[in-house]
Amino acid sequence: MRFLSLVRHRDLLQNQIRKIIDTVLEVVSCGINVPFADEEIFFGPIMEYTDGRVSLIPDFVSNCGMARVFTYFMEKRVGMDDDLIFNDTSNTIRKAILNIFSQNASKINLSKTGFEIALKQLL
């Protein structure tokens, strides 16, 4: 499996992602914000193009670590233990990905499905 973690903010153009996908790329995880050079904030044409061709883990799932750590400390009295914090964050990301897969078992359109789930939860 070819895996790419994207960390630059809004730099990736469609012709660049096309070349990367052509090298047998299978999974993309967005690290810092959305790396695609779309003018749209959440789901522009480059992101949609990528999501329709490879497994694109939405940035709000792959990049949720610090938000989860803050929530972890606010939920209850917990120990400040590295393993506990890491496991809690890891389990949160795992649940989110499994929730996406429960509604979309294919390898593509994972971000689209993730956004649909998130919007339903907000409404």
* Residue-wise pLDDT tens digits, 42-77: 788 999 999 999 999 888 888 777 788 888 888 878
Strands (E), 40-91: 55-57
Are 51 and 28 in contact by the 8 Å Cβ rule? The answer is no
Q: What is the arithmetic mean of pLDDT over 27-31? A: 79
* Residue-wise pLDDT tens digits, 72-110: 888 878 888 889 888 988 999 899 999 999 999 999 999
Residue ranges of the domains in the chain? 2-122
* Amino acid in position 8: R
3-state secondary structure of 28: strand
What pLDDT is stored for residue 9 in this prediction? 55
